[in-house]
Structure 1
Amino acid sequence: MIAYDDISYSVENGRARIVVNRPDKLNAYRNETADQLRDAVLRAGSDPSARSILLTGEGRAFGAGYDLATVDPNETPALDDVLQRHFNPLVIAMRQSRLPVVAAVNGPCAGAAVGIALAADIVIAARSAYFYEPFVGIALVPDAGNTQFLSRMLGRVRASGMMLLGDRIPAEKALAWGLLWDVVDDAELAPTAEAICARLAKLDAAALAGTKRLIDRAAEFGIDEQLALERDLQGEAGRTPAMKAQIAAFFAKRKG
């Protein structure tokens, strides 16, 4: 296990497990927390034994957003610098990782933590969890990818209401809105997330990475460009040893 101050990191049976470990602060993020999360995501991506990533929080919260207690009250915080140096690189690392990321939202998920959760590829939540955008209420604008993720996932009307009004969105409503893959009873969250990561870890790594790339580019491209990218990546996938083995197994099954 790699030693970090704010998170824990381990890899077992192809699954990298990253846990924000500041339960006394409801897992609010310091700059160092974001840096350590990014390092862990990159470390997992460069580890040939890692095939999926599980991200969650220790204790009763996924993340309470940015830890404002770390801001000097006598200075004007340079939040643009904080985002550029610490949080934006984390979100980019998650989206660009070759590995599928599963976020298990185990409790309150607020502010920057929402963006970090939604940067994952599959998001599941405990039934008691909720999502909360407090930015405008404290004279800030949403960050950490929130404006893009929420607008794409929810559409303008719901995204605007969520970000402008700052209401808490319960997990069940977030599921109905299309923000989540699934909601499970609190006691079932950890085993469900582990099972999803285990399932992903058994799939072809190149196919997973290519699919992640296609999903990200789908919102940017027109149909011509998207079809061309699908063509190119599928051509690469079709030439891999893993795909050849799948074809051989298919024909062997037909003959049997």
Structure 2
Amino acid sequence: MQYDAITFDITDDIAVITLNRPDVMNALNTQMRAEITDAVSRGGREARVVVMTGAGKSFCSGQDLGDRATAANLDLERTLRDEYVPMLRAIFDCPVPTISAVNGAAAGAGANLALAADVVIATESAFFLQAFTRIGLIPDAGGTWYLPRQMGLAKAMGAALFAEKITARQADDWGMIWEAVADDAFDAHWRGRAAHLAKGPTAAFERVKQAMRASFDNTLDDQLALEAKLQGQCGKTRDFKEGVVAFLQKRPAQYEGR
């Protein structure tokens, strides 16, 4: 696929997807959703970590309500089912770690696109806004699934009902994101985080994601059984053998992701 609404780059096993409509605060239209879906899937196949960030001063302002192509035939149920669901599933199902590097405002569906990643790193000047009730809607793009899990039901309900800005520092304190970083250190910081994951035991990371997500629906016995199964699989990888040898030799492990 040719990318026009985003840019896509793979360097040193890190796939970086940059939402690239800064004139509309990287608002999501049909084209951008299709390109993100394709790029995340490609990154999961060709890289060892996938990063999403935004061009300009915003991460993503959500659905592009000013897009004439969308507004002419706006069917929210169809749009969510046919365009948002494939994009969100691509992120959720990505076999490698995903990072949202939130460089500015993340509002509406843009906020929930950010929260769909495994790890969210934001600049201290960034904010998250569940803007939906301001126009008579409910949080979508996975918001009603991610928010209660990441920040608890009480905070999630308030965020949805009041539609107030949540600063990056608040989001960090509430457990909504992994960390808020000073603006002047942000770019180098998320790139360092991505490099760390890209050099890590990729097969183990994939199973970490699987186990963590399953825990919400499993009993303790189910979860212990799943841990044993997945750990058995990890124990057969080349990376596990390398990790043990490196530990004994007191040197950094050289993981290959297999």
TM-score by length of 2: 0.93
Q: Does 1:18 align with 2:21?
A: no
Deviation, structure 1 residue 75: 5.5
- Tell me which residue corresponds to 1:40: 39
Deviation, structure 1 residue 253: 4.7
Deviation, structure 1 residue 180: 1.5
- Tell me which residue corresponds to 1:62: 59
- Tell me which residue corresponds to 1:146: 143
Alignment of 1:54-203 (within 5 A): 54-70=51-67, 77-203=74-200
- Tell me which residue corresponds to 1:213: 210
- In structure 2, do the counterparts of structure 1 residues 66 and 246 end up closer, same or farther at CA, with 3 Å as the change threshold? same
- In structure 2, do the counterparts of structure 1 residues 87 and 74 end up closer, same or farther at CA, with 3 Å as the change threshold? closer
Deviates more, 1:179-188 or 1:119-128: 179-188
8 Å contact kept, 2:119–2:177: yes
TM-score by length of 1: 0.93
Show structure 1 runs of 4+ deviating over 6 A: none
Secondary structure in 1 aligned to 2:26?
coil
Q: Does 1:240 align with 2:237?
A: yes
Unaligned stretches of 5+ residues in structure 1: none
2:157 alignment partner AA: S
Once residues 107 and 127 of structure 2 are traced to their aligned partners in structure 1, the CA distance between those partners, rounded to angstroms, is: 8
Q: How many residues are matched? A: 251
- Tell me which residue corresponds to 2:228: 231
Once residues 128 and 230 of structure 1 are traced to their aligned partners in structure 2, the CA distance between those partners, rounded to angstroms, is: 39
Q: Does 1:28 align with 2:22?
A: no
Deviation, structure 1 residue 177: 0.8
Deviation, structure 1 residue 186: 1.4
Unaligned stretches of 5+ residues in structure 2: 252-258
Deviation, structure 1 residue 71: 5.2
1:214 alignment partner AA: A
8 Å contact kept, 2:30–2:70: no
Deviates more, 1:24-33 or 1:217-226: 217-226
Once residues 54 and 247 of structure 1 are traced to their aligned partners in structure 2, the CA distance between those partners, rounded to angstroms, is: 29
Provide the identity percentage.
Answer: 37
Deviation, structure 1 residue 246: 2.1
8 Å contact kept, 2:48–2:198: yes
Once residues 112 and 71 of structure 1 are traced to their aligned partners in structure 2, the CA distance between those partners, rounded to angstroms, is: 18
- In structure 2, do the counterparts of structure 1 residues 249 and 127 end up closer, same or farther at CA, with 3 Å as the change threshold? closer
Deviation, structure 1 residue 200: 0.2
Secondary structure in 1 aligned to 2:138?
coil
Deviation, structure 1 residue 252: 4.2
Tell me the C-alpha RMSD between the 2 structures.
1.7
Once residues 51 and 74 of structure 1 are traced to their aligned partners in structure 2, the CA distance between those partners, rounded to angstroms, is: 37
Deviates more, 1:101-110 or 1:241-250: 241-250
- In structure 2, do the counterparts of structure 1 residues 219 and 71 end up closer, same or farther at CA, with 3 Å as the change threshold? farther
Secondary structure in 2 aligned to 1:69?
coil
